[in-house]
Chain A
Amino acid sequence: MPQKLKEVDVVVIGVGFAGSILAKELAASGLTVVGLERGHGRHSVPDFQAPAIHDELKYSIRKGMMQDVTREAMTFRNHHREVALPMRQWEAFLPGTGLGGCGVHWNGQAWRYQEADFIYKTHIEQRYGKKILDPDLRIQDWGVTYQELEPYYDRFEHLLGVCGKAGNLNGKIEPGGNPLEAPRSREYPNPPMKEQYSGALFRKAALELGYHPFLQPSANTTRPYTNPEGMTLNPCAYCGFCERYGCEHFAKASPQTVILPVLMKNPNFELRTESQVLRINLDSTGKKATGVSYMDAQGREFEQPAGLVLLTAFALNDVRMLLLSGIGNPYDPTTETGVVGRNYAYQTQSYVPTFLGEDVHLNSYMAGGASGTVIDDFSVDNFDHSSLGFIGGCYVLCGSTGARPVEFHPTPPGTPRWGREWKDAVRRHYNHTAIFNLSGTSTAMRGNYLDLDPTYRDAWGLPLLRITFDFPDNDVRMSRFVTHKASEIARQMGAKIVVDSPRTGPFTTTSYQSTHNTGGAVIGADPSTSVVNRYCQSWDVPNVFVVGACNYPQNSSYNPTVTLGALIYWTADALKTRYLKRPGPLV
């Protein structure tokens, strides 16, 4: 028999960036808040300290910081005609777990989205007409604009201490920054990172070809910085162990370094780790949440009543929780009815391995997670697509996040996979090869969606999430075009060998691409095509808010975290200034 606990004002499911910021804002407003985190509690000291944290096998290869796949996996198929099978280990993407969530093991690439992203359907149709869209694409507007989110972007960037140089300050183009970025209201809180050698070579070549290179905005701090919450960050040491690792130096912005200690000091907040939420409970009308049921590490089930439920887990797990709880109508791709699971999208990544020759010592193991020099000329809709026959684009980044050798030992095409020749090639190219990373838009498509698997279950007996996904032809054409442009830059750098490697289908679960899984609980103005309204509030159950990359109706070229930060503060503001005064639908 589940034990029923004392009611609190707010329960938060998942304590990463979204959970910790929303909990902090609401606890500071005087509400009682319980944070339920399925993973371990963990802190910069002692959990992320060197030298033990610099363990490539444990963290990069065996995925030491990721969701426990033995208990909760996901199933996958490319098309709804196939039988989905479980991803038995994490490869293509890496959902985190534990206190701080993915905010611990991210790289800190700190991008804003473009104005066009938030009005994507309107913008594309106005500029090119509807005919540019393949019939099965399902792009849509967010229902909230860049201009509305700008103050919240600014707030999140200052929480993190983002490092960069403004390129567009209130509409005025600034030297040294990204001239193609959306206008920002003030300068970045900290100066950009140091430039790597590969980035400097890329910068020169990109300039020669007429592009606009700049240093990637980063949440790996470049100088001592105290954020508005009073938390102090240290400069990044460029250790080369960032993505998939915690930061020993208090340099990478994470919930642990920017907000959690402030939240934990508030007596209105209680953190419960090792607490696996099973479902959000609804009353008999199905229109009101009464709290959540969860299980602790000893296998005891609890019911935690709450007036307000905030769903702030990883994007894919947010969607699964809605489906497990019966909140919103599940999407059906055959009839195109229902919304939960609709518009699942990803990130269209491609690479350009650039072999520079043995006289060029790149020393790529000297790296911050968000190091790199980048051009934005081919992102989203920053270039004219009229005669190209596709929408979307990529940023082109040259830099390294570390050259850890189990993962990184590039060899030129034609090299055998093993033997003497392979070994010689690894030795000859290891320190002399740059790999461009192209991060591309992912266009929502009718057949790409999330639902519950009919066969496979988690450790608590609940259905796993089922992912049905393949790359739309549009995105494959996009990747081919932009990757070719990037290869021209690589050749301009004087590379001996350039490997033009656009993304091609089918999507495979067997190689890492990106953890930017988006959609499935999308934001919008129309309840027939969105799960939450413009304040991330469930259309169906107004005392449930869902805040995550699951809100994105399609994915942009950029890393999603800073846009999520803007949505988090935007939602916090709506909760504090409107919802708490008058609980109910905000739209």
Chain B
Amino acid sequence: MSEGPNSNSRRNFLRSSLVLISTATLAGEAPALLGNPRAEEPHRFLNESERRFLLAAVDRLIPADERWPGAAEAGVVNYIELQMAGAWGRGEILYRHGPFRKGTPMQGYQLEYTPAELFRRSIHAINAHFTSQAKSFDQLPAEEKDAYLSTLEKGDIDLDGVPSNIFFDFLLQHTVEGFFSDPIYGGNKNKIAWRMIGFPGAYADYHDLIDKHGIEFHREPLSIADGPGYHSMISKTEGK
């Protein structure tokens, strides 16, 4: 066992290694441009038609507005792709033994599909539906996209064995996860979702601030990827 006797000394050391950061993109100011949402695609799971559907769908679930980018610009589809290509998508965090039976709503997810299988099967069914009408979901006007997503949400459609409300809830869950998770997972690019709400991220020492009630606290949010040295300098700065 090696339990460190005193992490204060470690924290003090880190505090002394100050690093200057840019304060140009704090919450309350104009967000940084996020560039082309198609850049940095991981190409580890999605094919082009799947990606086109997802980019169009997440853009309606969390749309861009005059001030804040939406899920598509924030890289949420990249997040979904990486999740589906990883342990979660492969069903490695689910109990996967059968028999698989339809349960009550209180019994939760009971389909035999892994998350990746569920995504792929559902999106293929959706794309096939539009192809049969010589259309494509991503080409619809926004109102028609929203109307179709609402139909999925109600559960009125069978997506090749997946009730559409299960797929919709799953898509919405992953969109919110990707938007708000640490940028190391591929979404929340430039910590844009954290800037929008004012969450300071993975940074974590508020001992001297928690009882300064009601302060307006604007601070560059920090990602796990920003590293411990980057985290440490924060202790010297204060909220307004």
- Residues of chain A at the chain B interface (Cβ within 8 Å): 43-45, 50-52, 54-57, 61-63, 69-70, 73, 76-78, 82-83, 85-89, 91, 194-197, 200, 224, 231-232, 234-241, 248-250, 256-257, 260-261, 264-265, 360-361, 363, 365-367, 371, 403-406, 409, 417-420, 422-424, 426-427, 430-431, 455-457, 506-510
Contacts and interface: CB of A to CB of B under 8 A. Distances in A.
Given A45-B3, A431-B198, A89 B94 contact: yes
B158 to A, nearest CB: 21
Given A51-B231, A86-B95, A88-B110, A57 B182 contact: yes
B177 A51 contact: no
A234 B177 contact: no
SS class of chain B's interface: helix, strand, loop or mixed? loop
Given A43-B2, A56-B181, A423-B65, A69 B95 contact: yes
14 contacts: A55-B184, A69-B95, A76-B106, A197-B213, A239-B205, A240-B206, A250-B4, A361-B214, A361-B217, A363-B215, A363-B239, A371-B210, A409-B176, A418-B149
A405 B197 contact: yes
B182 A55 contact: yes
Interface of B: 1-8, 11, 60-63, 65, 68, 70, 88, 92-97, 99, 101, 103-110, 146, 149, 153, 172, 175-177, 180-182, 184-185, 193-194, 196-207, 209-211, 213-217, 222-224, 226-228, 231, 239
B99 A237 contact: no
Nearest to B216: A361
Contacts of A82: 104
Contacts of B96: 70, 88
Contacts, number: 210
Contacts of B8: 224, 234
Given A70-B93, A88-B96, A62 B88 contact: yes
B222 A51 contact: yes
A248 B7 contact: yes
B114 to A, nearest CB: 11
A85 B103 contact: yes
Contact of B197 (A52, A367, A426): A426
Contacts of A418: 60-62, 149, 172, 175
Given A261-B3, A406-B181, A417-B172, A87 B197 contact: no
A50 B202 contact: yes
Chain A to chain B: the 9 pairs with minimum beta-carbon distance, closest first: A239-B204, A366-B206, A73-B95, A54-B202, A430-B197, A197-B213, A405-B180, A508-B106, A366-B210
B199 A403 contact: yes
B65 A85 contact: no
A77 B196 contact: no
Contacts of A431: 197-198
Given A234-B6, A403-B199, A87 B210 contact: no
Nearest to A366: B206
A455 B97 CA distance: 10
Contacts of B199: 365, 403-405, 430
